[in-house]
Structure 1
Amino acid sequence: MMICVLLLAVSPALAQRSFELNLWPQGAPVMSGDAADTAKVYVFLPRKSTGRAVLICPGGGYASLALAKEGTDWAGFLNNMGIAAVVLKYRMPHGVKEVAIGDAEEAMKLIRRNATRWNINRDDVGIMGFSAGSHLASTLATHSRGDAKPNFQILFYPVITMDPAFTHKGSHDNLLGKSATKKDERLYSNDLQVTRVTPRAWIALSDDDHVVMPANGVNYYTELYRHDVPASLHVYPSGGHGWGILPGFRYHNLLMLELESWLRAF
């Protein structure tokens, strides 16, 4: 019931073109530690489509999801630009990394499988993430192949590295487990996985973020630049962590203008 209210609250005009789908109707191939946790997508289709779509991965330290301010509340902004918004409710990994990553990859494939029906260009599907959701988004951008790989990435105050010296400890422990191997920590430090075929990126964070060190996003940008991947880095003077689309964020209007400008540039 709460989900229905959430979807309808975005905009009465959008409600007719909004629906939810169970991501694994036949059952997920990899189970999490919580059998009751179900992966879903909430789909918002624009009335006039440009063919572009964005898969949105809310944050929450791989322990919970900020489903509104980092998910469904973005549908209106994207739909008004003619962009389909698909919000992913991914399962919490509980130390089994394949759970959340598998959900995100399946959601990307789902969008492309339904490209004709949803009036989407299969070659113009991006991914947007927030905090730990940005780690998930950048994992697909740097690890995934074929239909699971996004064409562009949008990252807000991202967790990028799994290096214990710089990572967000909760995200690290919840994704890889408290006894993660050095091999996995390096493999899922996504700044170390950037190549020349990593998709273009837009990155935003606050200089005074004391939850996720700004070095995460800055180092990722540096590696994108070093590998000739088009990228745009926006560091706002204040705001801390977790502002999402909240208008109370001091630089909210500037943020929205800069993101819209970037999305219209390619």
Structure 2
Amino acid sequence: MLLVAFSASAQKQFEMNLWQSGAPNSNGDSTDTAKVFVYLPSDKAATGRAVVICPGGGYSGLAMDHEGKEWAPFFNNMGIAAIVLKYRMPKGNVDVPVSDAEAAMKLVRANASSWNIKSDDIGIMGSSAGGHLASTIATHSSGDAKPDFQILFYPVITMAPGYTHQGSHDNLLGKNARKKDEKLYSNDLQVTRVTPRAWIALSDDDRVVIPSNGVNYYLELYRHDIPGSLHVYPSGGHGWGIHTSFRYHTQMLLELESWLRSF
């Protein structure tokens, strides 16, 4: 993992290759490289908080703009550093994107002082399949890879047939996934009393990733006494990200901002 310290006052936006000398857990595609795009707020505005952002795309591609880079101004204006992760596609090897997301979390913590970030205030965010990756890191990872909070947009949570997003399931675990792997990566079943707090948003009319994914995750957080905030909008379908065409765009941003200011 490339651990290069940058001065926050010298450079506010830059990109980095995540792995310096070969990435672990190959997916068989040598052209598929992991990167992070780092957006730092001004020194004056910086609160020390940061969020690693995992765009969605069904574990077959990435919506890098409206579920990734275009979120940077929102967070930077709140004094929060935004680190957008271009993770590798699993192609049936779950360890590929998981190792990338864990490495991104560790990278931010390793550069916390030079990026004007507090090492105990680093969250993870994900949309759709990126929400599954984010919730996987929140429920499975430990040490420097474990986030302090999580933000999930219309997330894929379960790998259970009939409830999961089948494309994400097949790309992550394979079409003939073992039942024990489906259970292991059904992240509602992996919530414990040390899972980080969460903000979850989705639409009631989502026909791509059924709402029970995010709702069941919230219920498990509640059952384990983990602070959670669930927002179900009447319409919008799936994949709206930060698009202003989403009918509840302004309300959603205000609710997210209020939650981020609550702790």
Is TM > 0.5 for Structure 1 vs Structure 2? yes
1:238 maps to 2:235 = yes
Show the counterpart of 1:30. Answer: 25
Shift of 1:16: 4.9
Show the counterpart of 2:37. Answer: 42
Structure number with higher helix proportion: 1
Q: Distance in 2 between matches of 1:102 and 1:243?
A: 27
CA RMSD of aligned residues (A): 1.1
Unaligned stretches of 5+ in structure 2? 1-9
Select the residue among 154, 157, 164 that pairs with 1:157: 154
1:75 maps to 2:72 = yes
| SS across alignment from 1:246 | coil
Q: AA paired with 2:52?
A: L
| SS across alignment from 1:166 | coil
Normalised by the size of structure 1, how large is the TM-score? 0.94
Q: Which runs of 4+ in 1 moved over 6 A?
A: none
Shift of 1:29: 1.6
Aligned ranges 1:79-228 → 2 under 5 Å? 79-228=76-225
Normalised by the size of structure 2, how large is the TM-score? 0.95
1:63-107 Cα distance to aligned partner (Å, 9 max, x none): 000000000000000000000000000000000000000000000
CA contact (8 A) 1:33 1:93 kept: no
CA contact (8 A) 1:65 1:89 kept: yes
Unaligned stretches of 5+ in structure 1? 1-14
Q: AA paired with 1:116?
A: S
Aligned positions, number: 253
| SS across alignment from 1:180 | coil
Aligned ranges 1:54-65 → 2 under 5 Å? 54-65=51-62
1:6-63 Cα distance to aligned partner (Å, 9 max, x none): xxxxxxxxx9510000000111121112110000000000002100000000000000
